[in-house]
Structure 1
């Protein structure tokens, strides 16, 4: 094998490896730019949500108890702890009352006697 064939082989190997690295770099750059674009779109969606404005609604002043049955989803980390605790207990009591009313209605429909704890004394 003549000496110049080794030069051709090495030139071909080096050029193919450089071509491979350039193509991989272009592919990596395009994937990175697509990721940045998606992150930007996600950021735009998050900033345009009406929940972001509701997160700071508690700072405007006191909210009546009837309106505070629950915060908008995703706003609990930004609300004061006593507000979240109050909302939790209010929604828990509302679920309990709804279950009691369903139980009373069901027993009334079946003609069964009511439990003393289900009778309202109010």
Structure 2
């Protein structure tokens, strides 16, 4: 299979797949390729660069994931060392500080997704940190 970037005579750009370059040539010559926007049969290939990876080139995804994990572990350790853990009282404590009912301090804790959305809607500045739940921490 081969994917081509195509353009019709009205200037509409679109992509189409063909079993081979010969199949593309045959189908356009027989006016079988239509623009999906205007049904024009006057179709030309756009200039394209090949989508070919280097031989043996593997994605850096695993390396990137490891870097993110290292960074997140550093963030977690910093928060655990420097912030006060308030557990499931987090939404209540965050609101009390936001509305100046309590003295402001650095806290962390737990909330449901719904509670987090409510805090954000109230204008309370929170930042979810994945994997910091004390109960499930490894």
Query: Same-fold call, TM > 0.5?
Result: no
TM-score under structure 1 length normalisation: 0.28
Higher fraction of strand? 2
Of Structure 1 and Structure 2, the greater helix share is in 1
Which is greater in Rg? 1
